[in-house]
Amino acid sequence: MQRIYVAGTADTKPEELLFIAARIRQCGGACTVVDVGTLASDVEVDVSASEVAEFAPDGPESVLAADSRGPAVTAMGEAFAGYLLSRDDVAGVIGIGGGGGTSIVTAGMRELPLGVPKIMVSTLASGDVSPYVDVSDIIFVPSVTDMTGLNRLSRVILHNTATAIAAMAAAPAPPLSGKPAIGLTMFGVTTTGVNAMTDRLQDDFDCMAFHATGTGGRAMENLIANDVLVGVLDITTTEICDLLFGGVLPAKPNRIDIIAETEIPYVVSAGALDMVNFWAPETVPEIHADRQFYHHNPNVTLMRTTADECREIGQWIGRKLNACNGPLRFLIPEKGISALDIEGGDFFDPEIDAALFDAITETVNWTDKRQLVRLPHHINDPEFADAATAIFREII
């Protein structure tokens, strides 16, 4: 029988845990209450903290006998992840927590496959929860009040979330089937081109576009690692600019490494490498005061990359591509790499683009499998989309 796992720290939030479990059962769902606390508790649950702690990589003593709370919370998060991965009956997970409980429960949730229902009721939910969500599909719900016993508001919120996950588990999405899935990366300034590629490929492929915001690239590469995608059109590599030059939407240093590991068919380009992203103008570091900016909206400020920065970007990408031995094509759009980098546009500068293109050309060791393709088009031109999709079909 598939079950909903209800997780939290029974030593501090027993009423809330049992309330959620009762509501799930009222909805007809089967559930298992799991204590992920790092302190002893006499609350009757289905799975005790000591049972979960057995899954800690460094043994249960790293959780229950840790010298301080910080290491214990980290170890219990790892243990809960191991516990969930040992189960073959997970229909969904709902967790409750403050700072520690949120860290522990979401560490386990992030290890579950995308699509498995995950709801986290947390005192942190109205803030920046990106470290807890990362590239997973966890739903965060603000608890509004702290969880120190039930009250008239918490009963409503817990009732609603318990009912929601019971409904999700009772009506799971149909299994994936049909066309093979491919990944494409896009940004606002490359949307026209990537949408055109999707139009040309969607009859044969399940096209999954990822917003190049740091998490988008990581999400795509996570799906590559899990064999969900069969090929990639990494048209918009702008996250690398933010990684190298302090922008707010950075890639991780391991960007592109999974391409080398899997040798997945890979079409890659220079989309939006003309910009580094910052938030509102007042957030831009003072060191950049004399740079060229474009105010995308009141909360997003784009900084034009320089020739020196573009050379560094090109060399960084080139070194990554040299490790890739699967079928790879790097496409150079000679007439511009974003909607701003077009004749008459705010970031149009062929000399700076040439520095980028030359760095890539000179850094990569080109082979029969690893090829450079120069195209006399703008990245958003229909002709560029035609060429990119035709090349992708050849290497896939």
Domains along the sequence of the chain with CATH:
3-170 (3.40.50.12020), 181-395 (3.40.50.12030)
Cα Rg, the chain, nearest whole Å: 24
Specify whether the CB–CB gap between 389 and 201 falls below 8 A: yes
* DSSP H/E element including 357: helix 350-363
Per-residue pLDDT reduced to its tens digit, 258-277: 999 999 999 999 999 999 99
pLDDT at 41: 85
In DSSP terms, 186 is beta-bridged to: 211
Neighbours of 65 (CB within 10 A): 11
SS3 54: coil
Per-residue pLDDT reduced to its tens digit, 120-137: 999 999 999 999 999 999
State the pTM of this model: 0.90
**Which parts of 251-379 are beta strand (E)?**
266-269, 275-278, 293-297, 300-304, 328-333, 370-375
In DSSP terms, 32 is beta-bridged to: 5
pLDDT in tens, the chain (396 residues): 899 999 999 999 999 999 999 999 999 999 999 999 998 788 999 999 999 999 999 999 999 876 788 999 999 999 999 999 999 999 999 999 999 999 999 999 999 999 999 999 999 999 999 999 999 999 999 999 999 999 999 999 999 999 999 999 999 998 877 899 999 999 999 999 999 999 999 999 999 999 999 999 999 999 999 999 999 999 999 999 999 999 999 999 999 999 999 999 999 999 999 999 999 999 999 999 999 999 999 999 999 999 999 999 999 999 999 999 999 999 999 999 999 999 999 999 999 999 999 999 999 999 999 999 999 999 999 999 999 999 999 999
Largest CA distance in the chain: 71
Q: In what order do the strands lie in the sheet with 90-97?
A: 31-35, 3-8, 90-97, 118-122, 139-142
- Calpha distance 115→175 (Å, rounded): 10
pLDDT at 40: 77
Q: What are phi and psi of 350, to 5 degrees?
A: -60, -30
- Calpha distance 195→236 (Å, rounded): 12
Region class of 246: left (phi > 0), else alpha (psi between -120 and 50), else beta: left
| Count of CA atoms in the C-beta half-sphere (13 A) of 302 | 21
pLDDT at 21: 98
Specify whether the CB–CB gap between 156 and 150 falls below 8 A: no
Q: Which two tokens stand for residue 367?
A: 């082979």
C-alpha separations of 310 from 275, 290, 352, 354 in Å: 10, 18, 7, 9
